Each structure stands twice: as structure tokens, then as C-alpha cells.
Structure 1
Amino acid sequence: MTDTIAPPRHPAIRPGATAIVTGAASGIGLAAATRFSAEGMAVWLADLPGEALDAARATVAAAAQGDAPVRAFPTDVGDRAAMEALRDAACAEGPPALLMLNAGIEAGGQLFSEAETWHRILDTNLWGVVNGIHAFAPAMIEAAAPGAIVVTGSKQGITTPPGNTPYNVSKAGVKAVTDALAHDLRNRGNGHVTAHLLIPGFVYTGLTKARGVKEKPAGAWTPEETVDVLLAGLARGDFYILCPDNETTREQDAKRIAWAAGDIIENRPALSRWHPDYAEAFRAFSRGR
């Protein structure tokens, strides 16, 4: 009989420690919470109140290793007081080892969408991250124990494609905040708590379903596949955890990101990847020429 060797894990992922996941009622958040519970962690699921959150708690509890507790805590991440209430409840016996700030919405916003749409997207996607960091990070740092803060970003926050402007802005802000967090943690000297930016590819989640896609497209990954890449990236100590999918390779992503940065360096028009005068140049660049 051959012994099974467990895959390497970030030291924050350990039995008996606590993981907090926002946006945990579906998609990547639910898949991550389920995996953390299966690793023997106590898990807190934070999301808006309702049947989805209740069902998620049952799903995660079914995967729990040993007697690790699973708790659902209704939370509006864009509300600072609500995030502080989550902190007070979850940290009653000590700070979490792992904080995953994953909550996000798309809401179909455009550049000239009404202010309400802009606020709803930015409050959830950007302020939800800022609120989470402010609520939890100080205690995690003071604990001087291995910890990790994972923030879910987006490729759209890096290449900022046309349309969906409020979402792009929110995710560009998320990247900037998480960059700053990683720098701050690195320069505190103890290095016990690390920051990581998860950059998913095309994933079949609640956001996809909200656009009317009822079945997983062939090009999309499942949330579970994305979490596999997350765990591997955490184990390696990666900050940028850039995920491919079934239609886009990591090499293609690298070309798109490099081209976006090149707009500034080469003084090209904004979003030149979608500019008709640069279409052939981008195609040639993507092919490595």
C-alpha cells in the first residue's frame, strides 16, 4: 500500500485555525471555503443574508474535516460597521489565520451608468476589500502567527477592456490596495502574514449566471479548478496568482498585460488593443513577432 503524500500548503492553512471568506455563498468563495473546511479549518462564511448563504453553510459543513465548525454570518462587505461586527464575532477567540476577501459584483455598469450603480459596485468590490483589511489585518499582524490575506482581483482590473467601466475601476483599485498591503506586510519585518492577489480567468460563477449563461461554457473553468491554482500559488508564496482557463493560456494573458502596459511606454492611444489602427500590431505582438 502506497502512502498518499499531501500537497504542500501555505502555513496559514492548518487544522484548527480559522478562515474567513467573503462572497462565500457561491462561486470561488464557496469553493474556497469548502476546501478550507476540508483541511480542518474553522470557517466563517460572509455574504448577504438569504437562502444562498444558508445553503452554502450546509455545503461547507458537509465537507468539514473532524469537528471543525462552519458558521454563516450575514454581512454587507461595503458597510464598515458590518465588517467590524463580523470581526468581533469571528475573532472572539483570536484572529483568523486566513482572510479571503472575495465578495464582488458586476451589475452591468457602464461609464455613464447612474451614480447608484457606480456606488453599488465600488462599495462591494473595492470598499469591501478596504473594510476587510482594516477590520482584520491589524490583529492578524499582532498575532505573530502564520497568516495569509487573499484578495480576489480580475484581469479586467489590469487590462481594463472597453465596457464594464465601474467593475474595471473597482478591480484596478483592488489591485492597488493589495499591492500596498503586500508591501506593508513585507516591510514589517516578521513576515508572518502574507498578501496574495488571486486573478481568476473565465470562471463559471454566479456573475456568469447573472448574465443569462445557464450552463458552463466549454471555455470556462469551474470554481474548484480556480481554487486548485490558488492553493498551489499560496504554497509557492506567489503574490500574483494568475489563472488560465480553457480558452486563454497564461502566455496569452502575459501578452495582453504586457501590451496594456506598453500603451504608456509607447505612447499609444488608450486601450489601443481595441483601436482599429493597432489591431494588426497587437495580433503580431500576440504571435510573438
Structure 2
Amino acid sequence: MSSSTIATTSTVLKAGNTAVITGASSGIGRSMALFCAGKGMTVWMVDVDAPELETAKELAMAKATDGSKVESRVVDVSDCDAMMKLSEEVYADGGNCHFLMNNAGVGKGGDAMTDMQTVAFTMGINTYGPIHGCLAFVPKMKESKQAGIIVNTGSKQGITMPPGNLTYNMSKAALKCYTEGLEHDLRSNDDSKHLRSALLIPGWVNTSIMLKSVRKDKLEKGEDFDPSTVFFHEDKPASGAWMPQQVIDFMLEELDKGLFYIVCPDNDVDRETDNLRMTWAMQDITQDRPPLSRWHPEYKDEFTEFLKTNKAQ
């Protein structure tokens, strides 16, 4: 494979290339779209929130340099046929996709007795959405023989599984599993070694995912919605959370290192603490502890000591 086909940020995120980004109306997706527009790329911004998507498109166009082209499409990523049609449109007349970011997500949670409508809705966007994106675009990206990167946006909650948001955790855990398998396939086959994938694992980020979830619930119930009642979002940032652009900057640095797992810290939690939390979670199996022992009262002191003992002095 020639150096010109190696998937690095410099070979992929450059003028003349094309990015397709879902969940692009706000947050991390919007920040990435603005970055790509500023690089002179053709940017396809995808979301279901038509008004916010139009505003985001205007911001991206303001960032655009000579040669940039910004397109926006209202597409439900949980609809595989709709994503296939989007792919056909992107690839019409010799088009291509060099950077695919499956970022659309919802924050719906619940416990083990969550109704199936909520489970299906959350899994449909958070898990099946990225799969649909990959099914629609990756085969064409393989055929192009051009360097490309696929980023799926996961979550730390899909690894450490904190109680209280089970459905969301399930959706992100399944996406982690899928993306790991995708990367193994890409690395193992000669016809796809010009491609690579990565699992973006944000920390606490000031996005509108929770705001949009609360707003949707309120509107479905015919109730008034007051954005100020939501704990945090992009226009009401929490001090402990990163801003979306910080996530993009960090992601690009990690991609440049060739990393697959892009585990983002935030202003409250550093990477070392994240690593120890994940290690403890996996050791529930190897140490024969009950699941989610980190949140069991009887393991509170042991977990605290585990952090204290293992954190670098």
C-alpha cells in the first residue's frame, strides 16, 4: 500500500475530500462539520432536527474556504433505507466519502424494566444508526481505494455501565462491540487496509443530547419546555465538562497517533481515573464480584482504596 493511501488525518481531512457526519446539528458533530468545512472539504451534515441543522449549516458555510461545499440532509439514521439513499446521493456523479462520522445519538435511558418502545428507539439511533452508516458507506469506501476513516461515537457508559441509564449503556456497549469487529475486519483484509476506524469515547461534554431528550419527552406529553431546567447543554455549559471543540481537537491528536480507542478526559476526570474505573469494571468478572460492584455499598471502601493504591503518586 502506497503512502498516499494511508488513512491519516492529513491524507483524509484535506481540501477536495468529502466528510459525512451524522448528528451534525449540534455538539460534537457540528464542531467536526465546521472543522471539515474550514479544511476545504465537501461536508454532508445529517440530522433529524431540521431547524438546528439549517443553523449549523450556516455556521459551517461561514467557516468554508475556497473549494468547500456544505450540504445538509434531514435523515433518520435508524432507517437503513434512508441511509442507503443518502450514500447513493453522496456517491452520485463520481462523489466519494473519505471521512464518515457516525455521531447521531440520543440520551434515553431507563432500567431493566424500560418499555420496548424506548429500548427500540434508543438502540435504533445509538446502535443501528452507526451500523446503517457503515453498511451504506464502507463498501463504497473500500471500492474507492482512497484513504478513509470511520469514527463511531461511543460512550464511557458503554464500558463502565453506571446504573440508572441502562438502555443507553446497552446501546453504546453494543456499538463498542460492533466497532471493534469493524476495525478487525478492516485491518485483516487487503481490500480495506486503506481504511481505518476508531471508537470515539467522550467524557462529560457540553452537548445538547440531554436537552433534546427532555424536550422530546415534554413535547410528546404536550407540556411546556424550559431549556433552563436542563442541568447542562451547549448554551448552559457545566464547568466540569469539555466543550465539543475540545473533543474534536483531542480526537484528531489521538487519530494522528494511530489509536483506535479515543478515550477523552474532561475537566473532572483524568485518563488515569478512567483507566482504573474501566479496569475495575472488567475485574468484576475475573474477581468474581457482583456486577456493577463499584456502586455496591459493600464495595465502596474497596473501590476507593483501589483508586488510591493504583493512581500514580
Which residue does the alignment assign to 1:134? Answer: 135
| Identical residues among aligned pairs (%) | 40
1:235 corresponding residue in structure 2 = 256
For residue 207 of structure 2, the aligned residue among 205, 209, 212 is: 205
- What CA RMSD, in Å, does the superposition of the two structures yield over aligned residues? 1.3
Greater percentage in helix: 2
Larger CA deviation: 212-221 vs 168-177: 212-221
CA shift digits 1:36-57 (9 cap, x unpaired): 1111111000101521111111
- Residue 275 (structure 1) aligned to one of 285, 296, 303: 296
Give runs of aligned pairs for residues 89-168 of structure 1, distance below 5 A.
89-92=89-92, 93-168=94-169
Contact 1:95–1:136 (Cα < 8 Å) also in 2: no
Q: Aligned equivalents of 2:193 and 2:85: distance in 1?
A: 27
What letter corresponds to residue 78 of structure 1 in structure 2? S
What secondary structure sits across from 1:100 in the alignment? strand
Q: Show the counterpart of 1:4.
A: none
Question: What whole-Å deviation, never above 9, does each CA across 1:127-157 have from its counterpart, x for those lacking one?
Answer: 0011111110011011111100000000000
Decide which moves more: 219-228 or 181-190: 181-190
| 1:82 equivalent in structure 2 | 82
* Structure 1 equivalent of residue 268 of structure 2: 247
Separation in structure 1 between the aligned mates of residue 167 and residue 49 of structure 2, nearest angstrom: 24
Stretches of structure 2 that go unaligned for 5 or more consecutive residues are: 1-7, 215-229
96-105 vs 230-239, which moves further:
230-239
Q: Deviations over 1:131-187 (max 9, x none)?
A: 111110011011111100000000000001101111000000000000000000000
Write the mapping of 1:163-174 to structure 2, written as runs, cut at 5 A: 163-174=164-175
Q: Which residue matches 2:60?
A: 60
Paired with 2:306 and 2:264, the residues of 1 have a C-alpha distance of 21
- 1:195 alignment partner, one of 189, 194, 197: 197
Q: d(CA) in 2 for partners of 1:81 and 1:138?
A: 15
Query: 1: CA distance between counterparts of 2:80 and 2:210?
Result: 28
Letter in 1 for 2:70: V
Please name the residue that 1:26 is paired with.
26
> Hey, what does 1:224 align to over in structure 2?
245
Structure 1 runs not aligned, ≥5 long: 1-7
Task: Give the letter for the 1:61 counterpart.
Answer: M
Is it true that 1:264 corresponds to 2:285 in the alignment?
Answer: yes
Separation in structure 1 between the aligned mates of residue 111 and residue 55 of structure 2, nearest angstrom: 32
1:235 is displaced (CA, Å) by 1.4
Deviations 1:17-75 (A, max 9, x none): 00000000010000011111111111000101521111111111111121310000110
One-letter code aligned to 1:239: F
Q: CA deviation at 1:9?
A: 3.1
1:49–1:75 CA contact under 8 A, matched in 2: no
Contact kept? 1:111, 1:163, Cα under 8 Å: no
Distance in 1 separating the partners of 2:240 and 2:119: 29
Superposed CA deviations along residues 103-150 of structure 1, whole A, max 9, x for unmatched, are 000124332121111111000000001111111001101111110000
Letter in 1 for 2:302: A
User: Quick one: which amino acid aligns to residue 194 of structure 2?
Assistant: H
- Determine the structure 2 residue equivalent to 1:5: none
Report the count of equivalent residues.
282
Name the CA distance, whole Å, in 1 between partners of 2:266 and 2:293: 24
Q: What displacement does 1:213 show?
A: 2.3
Distance 2:206 2:244 in 1: 7
Q: CA deviation at 1:208?
A: 3.9
List structure 1 segments (4+ residues) > 4 angstroms apart after TM superposition: none
Match for residue 184 of structure 2? 183
Q: TM-score, normalised by structure 1?
A: 0.95
Q: Is the 8 A contact 2:159 2:278 kept in 1?
A: yes
Q: Secondary structure of 1:14's partner?
A: coil
Shift of 1:87: 0.4
